[in-house]
Chains A and B, each alone.
Chain A
Amino acid sequence: MKDCLARIFRAESGQVLASLACFSRDLQLAEDALQDASEQGSKKWPEHGVPENPSAWLHLEAKRKLIDKLRQQHTQQSQQKLQLIEQSLYMQSDSTAETDYEVPDERLRLIFTCCHPALNEVAQVVLTLRTLCGLDVREIARAYLTSETTIGQRITRAKKKIRDAGISYEVAKAEQLRFRLPSVLKVIYLIYNESYSAFEGQTLTRQDLANEAIRLSLLMVKLIPTSEVFGLAALMLFHDARRSSRSSLTDPYIPLEQQNRNLWDQAKIEQANAFIHQALKYQERGSYKIQAAISALHSGAKSWCATDWPQIQLLYMSLLQLHPSPVVALNLAIAMANGGQLSKPMKML
């Protein structure tokens, strides 16, 4: 029963919070309402049984709790918010649409809020994990090897800034998307990369963080299907497909060259290939797309030797132009060396 509630909470909290935050314009209040609803569930369900549609129950109950909280505020603003949310409640019961609350753009709004560049990067990551992935403070603290107090403070501070600085609960407008989308994608990629450094034996495993990042990325593909969004989803899926071959009981890290390619998850590679093809339909160059294309070539190669090194070399050159960095330069040199050119890479290094 407890597991059931926890699972539903994790799966639904992002969407419930997104919806509540859009009404209340206050993430803290939204979170308190959701918390109250979830506590009520944990008391009620063992006695009365799990409701037929537990997610719908959680949505509805959280909305009711939010109404209670807004009523207590007695401000002019809270009265306006109350009207809106009560209207939505009537509409919901009228059209028996309780099960039909899949409003994807509410989550999209919330991810743009949590990843607003006016918040520092760590705050963006932590807030996204808390609100959109439904991880609790303890889990996040463990994943980032820091104390619960530190994470709690970061989350509180970030929510306060969102409220007081007037960061909106809206998807960035088309003309701002160019500036705003990168920070959303970066947060998702940071969450994914953290799955590499998270320690073993924690409540939150590496795979959990990777799964959350991929889940967010697939959501983005559904909601904002554009070049770099496809690119990032493909990149993470390609990496994830190789996960089980990247380490063994005796070896904590096995480099690509020595990996057992039979262990690669072909279903994930297929899904990633579909995304990279979508991404390649767009003219614009982007670093996720290029990195995904490199990963696609590795994933499609029968062996390390049979890898298309000349093509990979070109892609790294393109990446180096876009984002000059020593790591990219090193990878380019490796690709050139593997492609049979030795004198040039030596000079580069």
Chain B
Amino acid sequence: MTAELGLLALIIAFCTAVVLGIVPLYGSIRRHTTCIAVARPAVWVQLVFVAIAYGCLTYAFLDNDFSVSYVANNSNSKLPLLYKISGVWAAHEGSLLLWVLILSGWTGAVTIFSRTVPDDMIAKVLGVMGLISVGFLSFILFTSNPFSRQFPPVTEGRDLNPLLQDPGLAIHPPMLYLGYVGFSVVFAFAIAALITGRLDMAWARWSRPWTTTAWSFLTLGIALGSWWAYYELGWGGWWFWDPVENASFMPWLMGTALIHTLAATEKRGVFKAWTVLLAVFTFSLSLLGTFLVRSGVLTSVHAFASDPERGLFILIFLVIVVGGSLTLYAWRAPSIRSVPGFNPVSRESALLINNVLLVTTTATVLLGTLYPLFIDALGLGKISVGPPYFNSIFVPLTVPLVVAMGFGALCRWKKDTFARLRGDLGMLLLASLLAGGICPLAMDHYSLAAASAGTLGCWAMFTAIRGLWIRATPGRRWQGLARTPRAYWGMTLAHSGIGIFVIGVAFTTIYSTEKDLSMAPGERFSVGRYEYQFDGVQNLSGPNYVAQTGTVIISRDGRLIARLSPEKRRYLVQQMPMTEAGIQAGFWGDFYASLGERLDDRGRWAVRVQYKAFIRWIWLGALLMAAGGLLAASDRRYRTVARAPVREPAAQTTPILSG
């Protein structure tokens, strides 16, 4: 009964979305207030019914209703509660339902937080989001119904994929989708602005907090995925340039470019046309990501060709979204004028360099991800494009990006001179060189690459902090800091996060050690300064798996440092072997052990021990970026705009219009 109720709710939501996608848009163009007034209630009706449908599917999981095929394929009565809840988004149908739930949630959030935006504008924004909902709801209803029943019903489910039975991966998809789908708000604002032809600074201001919030969630989602891969896949890698990872990374890169041009558009009224285009591309890349992951095209072009229904649907949807937006853009772009000029030495220029590099990187990741598919489809053979390719392109593009970032953080808008910047830049460069050069001395061998990366990371942090310090107005620094808007603090935090991330990546790559050992119980082995002792393997059993747990004791100069318990699990239903790494996390590095094969009858095992230097810095950097983004999005100027009384503008605001 619940499943049918859920399907019914989904159909009602679909009909509401159709109304939302047509009536307010019509009303706003024809200036019909009644039609415009439909928008907000329709949003809430849609949200409520999608939530009911989602609740029904969750209930079916909790209730072990294995007559629903989706539940039967992704759950089991012995599955722990947390994974029954997260099992809802474990596979195709349910994750799409989550997509739509989050989309409806974002739409609802727009009605709450955009009260300052004029009604006809908001009607268009909500209408565009309604149209996106129509696309996804019809995708679910026509190709991927999560509520379909199977006859005869089975008595026990096939269990959740053991890879997904993990708290990190349980919250990874919702975070990622919050980011992906959040870009739909920015997209909707861009389309609404294109329809009205009013691409003004107000539009940029309305879009900014949404972009930054979505970007922050995407950052968190990607970081969670990377962290999960690190401890769950069992060999300590944190990024694989897998197409699925690239699918989430491309909107992130494009979104990063968008955040920066939006800043320029809002503050200075420049790059309007380009910003709109970036907004369209960012959301299109989110859709492309969904298409790539969901269509099966990544596994093989032929898999897509043999079961094209779902893939074709998203592909057509993608073509409509991209094609429609670009047509609208081509129609409106000639009338978009970005008036103010700027010097080659200015923050605008630094942001343009940022954009050239980020867009080049995005395009390269896209090309590398799709290239094997094209080559295969053209019959030119099969090739692989993997980490060696991406790293060799990504690193040379990222280094100048971070250099330009430090420059941009110190530059003034519109017009600056090297003469003014020289003192600051020279001092900061010297400090970064010094700090970066000293860092590797603390490690077990000196590496020039580590010193360079250290310099780059310090440059990112020092320039960000220096920028904040200058911004805090001379004289009363501390009061100035307290009065500095959250947006600026957010930027400082995020840029420092980049610095920490750079150092983390470089030091992990350079200073991590790994050793494969063959160890009998009680045997000791020295790697570098550390001594590893293997204490054998015990059999344990979990709720839905049996495990062999080894014990590895790490000591240095006879002092106990860590006691690791790497595990090999066998999940009973799917008979799938899994490795759980034993990890002792530390600020300066992790001790990491994984259990291999049993080598003989006397309890000798293959054990891989690793020291992952600075690995936490990678995720710490990402956390800082996300925190910075959220802080910036919560800046009070985004909220108080309309309510504040009009006062005589200060003299320095005029150049923004006339400069």
Asked whether A and B interact, the reply is no
Q: Which residues from chain A sit less than 8 Å from chain B, CB to CB?
A: none
